[in-house]
Amino acid sequence: MLTRALFALALICMGVPAAAEDAKVLALGLADHAVTEEELEKGEALAPPRFNSGGVAYAWMSGLKQGDTVEVALVKDGKTLMHNTETLAEDKARLLLLAGKQAVPAGGWPAGKYNAAVTITRDGKTFIEQTSTPTPFE
């Protein structure tokens, strides 16, 4: 009995390590190129898309679990233009997922407001749903 009490006290004093970090979105936005984790780690401003550049939506996430489904979309005026979906075969400490085009579409990007959207589904239920601020491709 005393051993159990001492063990419980030790856990309370030292803290119980978390089994897994909860999923969260570290960065979500638009860029004129396919971004890398290294760029996002630096925290510097990324070049925004323009009507005559590439347009890529990115979502950088952490704490994802096996079986989670992640979808990133490039959205124009509320309608998905392009998306990328991945179902995780194993836990991921971090994941960067991109959707869009690195090349300029014929005639440039149409006028409108664009944003990035990410949805994380766990056990069949939407766990996280987030969008970036809509912005025009000038």
Interval 12-68: pLDDT, tens: 444 433 434 589 999 999 999 999 999 999 999 999 999 999 999 999 999 999 999
Average pLDDT, the chain: 88
pTM listed for this prediction: 0.83
Let me know if residue 26 belongs to a domain: yes
Taking the CB of residue 55, how many other CB atoms lie within 10 A of it?
Answer: 27
Contacts of 36 (CB under 8 A, 6+ apart): 96
Does 106 reside within a domain?
yes
The count of domains in the chain is 1
Mean pLDDT along residues 2-6:
43
CATH number for the domain harbouring residue 110: 2.60.40.10
User: Residue 12 falls within a domain, yes or no?
Assistant: no
In a domain, 13, yes or no: no
* 14 assigned to some structural domain: no
Is 86 a domain residue?
A: yes
Segments forming the whole domain that contains residue 50: 20-136
The two beta strands, 69-76 and 92-101, are unpaired
> Kindly report the CA angle at 109 between 71 and 81, in degrees rounded to 5?
25
Share of the chain above pLDDT 90, in %: 80
pLDDT at 21: 56
Q: Is residue 6 part of a domain?
A: no
